[in-house]
Amino acid sequence: MTETHDFVIVGSGMNSLVCAALLARAGKQVVVLERNDRIGGCIRTDELFPGYTHDILSSSYPLFTAGPGYEALGADLHAAGLEFANTDLPTAILTDDGRSLIMSTDAAETARRFNAVHDGDGAAFNSTIGSFFEANADLTFGLLGNELYSPSAAKVLFKEVRKRKIGGTLSFFGESLESCRTWVERDFQSELVRGLIAPWVLHAGLGPDDAYSGLMGKVIMGAVGMGGMPIVVGGSHRILDAFRIVIESHGGRFETGADVARVTVSDGAATGVTTEDGTTYQAREAVIANVTPTQLYGRLLESPPADFAARAADYRYGRADMQVHYALDTPPHWPDPDLARVAYVHLTPGLDGVSRAVNEAERGLLPEAGTIVVGQPVALDPTRAPDGGWIFWIQLQELPSRIKGDAAGEITVPADGAWTDSVKDAYLERIEQRLERLIPNFRSSVVGRRAYSPTELEGLNMNLVGGDPYSGACTIDQFLLWRPFPGARNHETPVKQLFHIGASTHPGPGLGGNSGFMVASKFV
C-alpha cells in the first residue's frame, strides 16, 4: 500500500507533535508514524494501580510552557482541553540527616528561606539569577531557540557584539563554561543552597563538575523560579489528547504500530519512508525523523555518507535512569510539612554527594547514595489519586547502563553487567531505606510500586538508549554547534528533504519542542 502526504514525521514525541501541529495548521498534509501502540514518546500515562494516575516517564513541562511552541500553539491546545496545574514551591533539597531548604516562585520568599540558612545567600541568589537573565537572556535564549547556522542566530550575535564588544562577548562564552560547582561555591556559603541547586543540572544531562553546568544551572533555576513546575491536570496523556485534536482537526493523521524500516531516497533527496509491514508513505516536501543519530544513520538510511555514518557510530549516550512509581494511601510525613507542597524534592547529601554519585555511575558503579528525585504530582493535581492518597514519581538519574560493581560493596552484579530484576530490587531497597529514615510512614503507606530499570526504559522508547533519558550525552562536545555531532547543521542531513529533530539534536532534551518548532518554521 502506498499513500502520499506533504510531510511524513517519524516518531511522535513532543518535538514531532509541535512540528506536526504547526504544519497541519498551515494547511499541510501531515502523517505522524509511531512504532509503539500509542503516541507520545516520553509522554506516557498509565493507571498502574486502581485510582492512581501515573506519568511513567516525563512529568512536568517548564521548558514547553516557556518555549516558542507553546507560545504559538497554547491557545489551540487549551481550547482542545489542555490544563496545567502548578505550585509556588517548585523544588527543595532534603539531606539524609533531615535538613531541608525550599525554593519559592516568590523571589522575596526564596531570599527569606535562603537567608535563614546563611545570611546573605538569599540576596546573592536573587542577584545572581536576576543579573544573569537581565544581561544574558537575549544571547542565551537566542542561541538555544534558533538554528545556529542562520540569519536569526547571526543577528543575535551581531547585536550582542555591538553591545558587549568582542571582548565582552568572548568573556560571556568563557564564563559560560564554568561548572556548577565553581558557581555555587563562589557565590553561596550554605551547603544547603549549594545542594538545592546542584541536582538540577542532572535534569540537563550533566553533572555539577561538567563544563557549562553552571550556565545550565542558572538557566534552570531561573526558569523554575519564575515558571514553577507545571504538570498536566489529569495526567500527561491529556496533552497528547490536545495535540491529537489540534492536528487531526486540520487534516493530520497518526498511525501507531507503524515501525519505519527505511527512509527512501531518490537522486539524493528523501521521498518518503517504508514501514516494516511494507507500507510506503511518500512525502512531497520532507521527511522529518525524531530518532537518535544511531537509528537515522545506522538503520533508516541505507547508504549514508561515510563521514556521517562514522560520526553517528561515535555518538555517545549518557548515564542511565530508573523510574519508580509509588502509590500511597496517605500523604508522606516529611520532616518539614511544607515539603508536601513541593513539586520536586531532591534527596541528596548535597553538592559533593551529587558529584560523587555521578562519578560512581560514570565508572559503572551503583551509587552508594545517589540523588533521589521525588516528584509529588498530587501536591499540584489532587485528581491523580483517590481521596487521601498520594503518589511518588521517583527518578534516579545517576546509574550506569552496564554495571561493573556496587560502590557500597553490598549488591552482587552479574558478570555481563545487565540490569536484572534482582539488581533492580536490591538497589531499590537501598533507596527505600533512605526514604523511610526520613519519612517514617513511607513503607506502611505504600499500596503499589512499579519500577522501570534502564533496560525497561529503552524497551518503552527506543530513543532512550541504555536507559539514557536524554537520548545522548549532553556534555559540551555534544551541545550547541556539536549536537548531535560536528557537521550537522540546522537539523538538516546530507540527504535533501530529510530533517532530524528530537532530544539528540539542538537544543537538546527537555520536552520543550524547540527542534520541532525550528524545522516547522522552515515551511510555514
pLDDT band at 229 (very low <50, low <70, confident <90, very high): very high
Stated pTM of the model: 0.96
Three-state DSSP state, 211: coil
* pLDDT at residue 342, as a whole number: 99
With beta carbons less than 8 A apart as the criterion, state whether 202 and 354 touch.
Answer: yes
What is the SS3 assignment for 356?
helix
- Amino acid of residue 217: G
Q: What is the CA radius of gyration of the chain?
A: 23
3-class DSSP state for residue 473?
coil
**Banded model confidence at residue 178, pLDDT cuts 50, 70, 90:** very high
pLDDT, tens digit (0-9, with 9 covering 90-100), for 380-422: 999 999 999 999 999 999 999 999 999 999 999 999 999 999 9
**Between residues 242 and 168, the one the model is more confident about:** 242
Q: Coil, helix or strand for 25?
A: helix
Query: What mean pLDDT is predicted for residues 72-80?
Result: 99
Distance CA 244, CA 237 (A): 11
Residues in contact with 289: Cβ distance below 8 Å, sequence separation at least 6, in sequence order: 9, 10, 11, 263, 295, 296, 300, 498, 499, 500, 501, 502
Q: Which of 383, 359, 379, 384 is nearest to 370 (CA)?
A: 359
Give the pLDDT band (50/70/90) at residue 200: very high
CA distance 384 to 396: 22
**Residue 401 has what pLDDT?**
98
Lookup result for grid cell 494516575: 53
pLDDT tens-digit series, residues 511-520: 999 999 999 9
Average pLDDT over the chain reads: 97
Give the largest CA-CA distance in the chain: 70
Candidates 81, 352, 400; CA nearest to 191 is: 352
What are residue 303's phi and psi, to 5 degrees?
-135, 70
Which SS3 state, helix, strand or coil, does residue 175 take? helix
Q: Which residues of 43-81 are buried (b: 16+ CB within 10 A; e: fewer)?
A: bbbeebbeebbbbbbbbbbbbbbbbbbbebbeebbeebe
* pLDDT score for 423: 98
Q: CB-side exposure of 150: number of CA atoms within 13 Å?
A: 19
Confidence of residue 208 (pLDDT cuts 50, 70, 90): very high
Per-residue pLDDT, averaged over 216-222, amounts to: 96
The predicted-structure confidence for 319-359, as pLDDT tens digits, reads as follows 999 999 999 999 999 999 999 999 999 999 999 999 999 99
Angle, CA of 65, 70 and 75, to the nearest 5°: 115
pLDDT-above-90 percentage for the chain: 95
